Amino acid sequence: MKRLVVLGATGPSGQEVVKQALSAGHHVTAVVRNPDKLDSVQNENLKVVKADIFSAEELSEHFRGQEVVLSCLGSRSSFRAPVTLYTETMKAIVAAMRETGLIRLICMTSWCTESLPGNPWFIEWILKPLVLKRTLVNMAEMEHFLFDDCQDINFTIVRPPSLGTGPFSDLPILTHEGMHVPGARWGLMNRADVAHFMLSLLDTTEWDRKAVAIQRTSRR
């Protein structure tokens, strides 16, 4: 069992990671802005702490003694306002990891953070122009920061498609080192399945220092 620190733990994806990690017997420190939002989760292996996610100094206090950082931080899509949450929080996270000697990081972005040939047309021609462009741009900037400036951090970037609610499906998950999973449908992937995949990375080195696109299969 590992000592995990989870950021974005009060969001729908973060709550799934926390619950599944606790069910697996891990020790979890949930770093949140509002501890009241995790009142419904009670477990002797859960510690809920309040911190400024943009402050490396505050994060360092709660990173000490941990083994893995999992970030489920997210920002609502914005058509007009600039999005900087992903880069600004990641800079603070990495600084805190360096301060405390942590090297393992698992974080979440999205399919198609950059426009490349072969990307699904619906994302490139509909979602990006109308809804997601600023969010995906900042996600891409965060990814470049990790690849270009964080050689000392053993990160994995998980790229799911659009996220939905629902229980863990236990369906096989397709993976691809790229912007999306070729041949896979673009539709919703349950946050519970994404959380399960993120936690599965604790037991493998296959995706170390890589960005992996994922999607569950529609049937066994």
Question: How many domains is the chain built from?
Answer: 1
Is this prediction's pTM over 0.85?
yes
CATH code of the domain containing 195: 3.40.50.720
By residue range, what is the domain housing residue 7? 3-216
Residue 215 has pLDDT above 90, yes or no: yes
Look at residue 121 in the predicted model and tell me its pLDDT: 47
Question: Which helix (H) or strand (E) is 14 found in, with range?
Answer: helix 12-23
Strand intervals (E) in 17-130:
27-32, 46-50, 68-71, 104-108
Look at residue 78 in the predicted model and tell me its pLDDT: 55
Q: Quick one: what percent of the chain has pLDDT higher than 70?
A: 88
Rounded mean pLDDT of the chain? 90
DSSP 3-state assignment of 114?
Answer: coil
Look at residue 130 in the predicted model and tell me its pLDDT: 53
